[in-house]
Each structure stands twice: as C-alpha cells, then as structure tokens.
C-alpha cells in the first residue's frame, strides 16, 4: 500500500525545515488510522526528499522484531533473520521490546513509522560537522519510547569515510541540537557504521573532521619505529630467556629471577602489541577483545614487575635483617596475579573494543584497546603514577646512599667514576621502568619530541635490558647477587656494600 504524499515545506535554499519534519513525523499517526480502516499492516511513503515505511503490528499476536532497509530511495521491509546479510547502504532493526512498550503506553495496536529526510537544514551552525550523506532518520511509535534494554540497531555502510563518525539523536523539539546521549557508535573493518540507541527520535550520523587534539601526530612514523623496536626487543628478550632457562637457571639468584619475570612480561607486551593491528583488521570481535585483554594485562604486569624490582632493591640495599618466608613465591604471585582481577573486571563490562586512530595524513589505523577514558586515566595512568612515585623514591634513596658512601671513599679516576655512576643510573631507570614516565610530558611544545623519546626508549627497552643482563653475568656476576643465605625458603636481606653497585660497570 502506498500512502498519499506528505507535504513538507522547504526553505529558499532547498533544505527541509526541521520543525516541519518533526510535525510531519507526528502527523503520520493519522496515516496509521487509515491503514487500520483498510486492514493494512504495512505501507511505503515516497515523496521528493522524504521516503519511509509504516508497519502496524497485527492485534492479538506476539510482537516481533521489525527490520527494514533503504536503497535507491525506497524502504524495504526485511526478515530480521537475514537483515545482517543485506547489502543495503542503510538498515534498521526495531526490537520487539519497543512494540511491547508502545502497546502498554497507548493501549492500542503498536506501530512504527520510519522516515528518511534528505537535506534537512542544520539550524545550529556553531558546530563544525556534516551530516553523513545529508540523511536524517525519524522514527516514531506514537508514544515516548526510551530506556530500552534491547537497543535499536542501525547500520550505515560508507565507502571512503573521512573524519570521525558519531551516532547522534535529536528530540524533535526546537532547533536541531544533536547529542550522543543514549547512542553508541561502532565502526567495523569494512567502514560500516553501527549505531545502537536506547530510544526513539530523530537520528543521524555526524562526520567531524579529524580533531587535532584527538589524532596522533606522526602516527605512521611512530608505528614504524615501534614495530622495529619491539621486533628487536623480542629477539633479544628471547635470547636472554633462552640463556637463562637452558644455560644459567641453576646458577641464578633472586635478582636474576625477578629480571626474568620482567622479561616474560615485556615479551607478552611486545607480542600482543605487534599482533594487535592485524587482529583489529580482521573484524573478529572475540579475537579483538582477547588481544586487547592480553595487551592490557601484560602492560599492567610489566608495571607490577617494575614495582617489585624497586621493592627488591629497597629490601636488599636499604633495610637490614629482614626475614621473609617464601619470598620468591610471594613476589611471583604478586607480579602475575595482581593485574588479573583488573582486566577481568574490564572485560566483564565490555571495556575492550576496536579503536580507530586518526592520523594527520587522513589514514585510519585500528587497534584493539579500551575505549573508556576513565579506565585509561584511573587504571593505566593512575596505576603507573603510583608505581612511578614508589620507584622514583627508591631511586633517589639509592643514589643518596651511594653519594654518601663515595664521599667517604677516595676516588682516583673521576672520569671513570662518573661513567660508572652514569651507567648505574641508566640501568636503574630501565629496571624501574622510569622510561615510561616520559608520557607525562606529552603536552604543549614537548608533545611531539616526547612521543619519539617515549617510543624509542620503551620499544627498545627489552634490548637495553638484555645488554644489562649480559653485562652483569659476564663482567661482574654477583655484584647484584643476593646473599647466599637468601636461597632457601626463608630469605634474609643483609646490608651489602652499597658502593659495590658501580663495580659492575668497570
């Protein structure tokens, strides 16, 4: 059944007046009444820049999901079982829950009206954005429908998408004021924009140009440097682990065991990072969630082992006569178990998704990560900030003790002593993960330089730590070793000669 033409006024520039569009959507209820008189359950609307469809649920029947698509200026009703397979540029699914709510609110047979408006005028010109394809969709069921648990799902297929897409809505009252409230946006690897909204009203997809503050400058160059650095680190971390487990495990002390755990955490971090983009491009949501979880877990585990490394230094160098039962077992459980509840909680609330990173050149890169800003600031930055404060405090304490010790001991070669001290400080920076603190300076004029410094130092961190591991085991094995009495189930930390920290850099 085809209904009479809807008369919608346009302005002098040929745009549809938003107020008139809202009024036209409200008046469609009278068309539903005409359909009821003729015992019709569906009808199409085609008129100039407006196309649409009306679906009336049959009385005394169970409600079902309703799906339709728009193609070549015509809306077609679809079987929801096969709606996902359609090649239509736009499709929508109205859940049965919405029909149930409409029936309860109006005490009449439920219906839905969907209208597509082309070239609807934007009366709010203060925002810089464009409406995707100049298409706005109005959906009504004759009553207010909100707070749906089974959301309305819309899918828009778009080729050569430039800019950031956001699913938005407008309540149809007054001037057009788009809001993202109640709508979630997801973009898959095929540039299909998926909008999930919990209410009925006017909908559109806004395309905004890449925001300079939300893009990553020099992303392509930084990604290339990171990939090369992580690849090098992965190779040397594997060599170090091979050397340890097959050649030197029996001779390892507690400091070396802690270092090996750190190597394993960094290896997981490098592997998950290098494979992240490839997994994200597959469009497999389950795989994306898994690799994001692994990346996040390995990063938090690395932070935890930085903390444990500093704690071990503190117990070994600063405290005296501290006895700890099952010392290695306890810190191993701490290092690997502490991050687990955090990532489990995040994955349980759906915190891991595919993230789109825009570049200043317009290229889009996908990554599996968390999209929640609170998780980023509280869990990632907040957790590392606590580790940074602790490790920095231990570093300052160690350096203070060393300076005090060297004032007592005469130094014959100042240049050689300076080199030892410099190498010691750099080694402690690596062991404590203080190179990650460069991210705190990614603001203002230091933003771009800090990105490069952060990328180089942390992507090559595994390589630098391998050099440290190789050096201490070949030139001065034992300078960082624990007291022999610490090899049993009960560890006793004794005060060593703190001046000996520099002896490994002869």
3-state secondary structure string across 117-178: EECECCCCCCCCCEEHHHEEEEEECCCCCCCCCCCEEEEEECCCCCCEEEEEEECCCCCCCC
Whole-number Cα distances in Å, 333 to 204, 304, 329: 50, 11, 6
Helix axes 327-337, 285-313, angle to 10 degrees: 150
Q: Do residues 352 and 287 touch, judged by C-beta distance below 8 A?
A: no
Spacing of C-alpha 447 from chain mean position: 21
Question: Within the chain, how many helices (H) and strands (E) appear?
Answer: 12, 17
What number of other Cβ atoms are within 10 A of residue 320's Cβ?
Answer: 10
Please give the pLDDT value at position 325. Answer: 84
β-pair type (130-131, 90-94): unpaired
Q: Contact 170/120 with Cβ under 8 angstroms? A: no
pLDDT (tens digit, 9 = 90+) per residue, 97-132? 988 888 887 777 788 888 888 888 765 544 457 788
Tokens standing for residue 246: 């097959």
* 61/67 Cα distance (integer angstroms): 18
Sequence-ordered alpha helix ranges (H) in 146-284: 219-243, 254-282
Length of the chain (residues)? 506
The model's pLDDT over 224-267, given as tens digits with 9 standing for 90+, comes to 888 898 899 899 889 888 888 876 665 677 888 888 999 999 99
Q: Report the pLDDT value the prediction gives residue 319, as an integer from 0 to 100.
A: 66
Q: Which domains does the chain have, with CATH numbers?
A: 18-208 (2.60.220.50), 219-505 (1.20.1070.10)
- Report d(CA 145, CA 165) in Å as an integer: 25
- The answer to whether residues 407 and 399 touch, using CB atoms and an 8 Å cutoff, is no
Nearest to 427 by CA among 300, 309, 298: 309
Which residues of the chain, if any, have pLDDT below 50?
1-4, 125-127, 210-214, 410-413, 476-488, 494-506
In Å, how far are 58, 82, 100, 104, 110 from 61, measured between CA atoms? 6, 22, 11, 14, 11
Contact in structure between 154 and 203 (CB atoms under 8 Å): yes
Burial environment of residue 250 by CB neighbours within 10 A (0 to 12, 13 to 18, 19 or more): exposed
Give CA separation, 408 vs 193, 231, 405, in Å.
69, 45, 5
């Amino acid at each position: 059944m085809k209904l009479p033409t809807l008369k919608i006024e346009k302005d002098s520039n040929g745009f549809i007046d938003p107020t008139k569009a809202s009024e036209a959507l409200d008046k469609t209820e009278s068309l539903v009444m005409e359909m009821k008189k003729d015992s019709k359950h569906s009808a199409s609307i085609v008129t100039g820049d407006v196309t649409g469809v009306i679906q009336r649920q049959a009385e005394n029947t169970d409600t079902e999901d309703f799906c339709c698509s728009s193609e070549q200026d015509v809306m077609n009703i679809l079987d929801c079982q096969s709606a996902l397979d359609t090649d239509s540029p736009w499709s929508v699914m109205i859940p049965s829950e919405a029909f149930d709510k409409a029936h309860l609110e109006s005490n009449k047979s439920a219906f839905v009206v969907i209208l597509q408006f082309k070239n609807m005028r934007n009366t709010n010109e203060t925002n810089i954005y464009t409406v995707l394809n100049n298409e706005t969709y109005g959906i009504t069921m004759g009553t207010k429908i909100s707070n749906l648990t089974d959301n309305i799902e819309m899918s828009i297929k778009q080729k050569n998408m430039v800019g950031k897409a956001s699913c938005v809505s407008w309540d149809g009252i007054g001037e057009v004021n788009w809001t993202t409230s109640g709508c979630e946006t997801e973009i898959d690897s095929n540039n299909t924009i998926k909008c999930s909204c919990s209410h009925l009203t006017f909908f559109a997809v806004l395309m905004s140009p890449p925001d300079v503050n939300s893009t990553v400058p020099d992303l392509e160059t930084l990604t290339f440097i990171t990939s090369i650095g992580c690849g090098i680190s992965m190779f040397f971390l594997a060599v170090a682990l091979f050397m340890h487990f097959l050649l030197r495990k029996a001779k390892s002390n507690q400091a070396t065991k802690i270092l090996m755990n750190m190597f394993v955490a960094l290896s997981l971090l490098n592997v998950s990072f290098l494979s992240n983009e490839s997994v994200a491009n597959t469009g497999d949501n389950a795989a994306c969630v898994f690799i994001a979880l692994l990346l996040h877990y390995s990063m938090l585990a690395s932070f935890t082992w930085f903390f444990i490394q500093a704690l071990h230094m503190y117990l070994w160098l600063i405290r005296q006569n501290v006895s700890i039962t099952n010392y290695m077992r306890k810190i191993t459980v701490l290092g690997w178990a502490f991050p687990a509840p955090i990532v489990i909680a995040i994955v349980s609330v759906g915190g891991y998704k595919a993230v789109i990173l825009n570049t200043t050149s317009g290229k889009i890169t996908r990554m599996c990560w968390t999209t929640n800003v609170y998780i980023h600031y509280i869990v990632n930055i907040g957790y590392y900030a606590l580790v940074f404060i602790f490790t920095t405090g231990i570093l300052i304490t160690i350096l203070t003790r060393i300076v005090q010790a060297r004032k007592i001991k005469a130094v014959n070669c100042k240049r050689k002593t300076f080199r030892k001290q410099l190498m010691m400080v750099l080694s402690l920076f690596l062991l404590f993960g203080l190179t990650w603190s460069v991210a705190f300076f990614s603001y203002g004029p230091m933003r771009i330089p800090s990105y490069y410094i952060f990328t180089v130092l942390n992507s090559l961190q595994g390589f630098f730590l391998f050099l440290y591991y190789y050096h201490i085991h070949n030139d001065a094995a034992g300078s960082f070793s624990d007291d022999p009495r610490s090899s049993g189930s009960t560890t006793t930390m004794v005060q060593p000669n703190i001046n000996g920290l520099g002896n490994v850099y002869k």
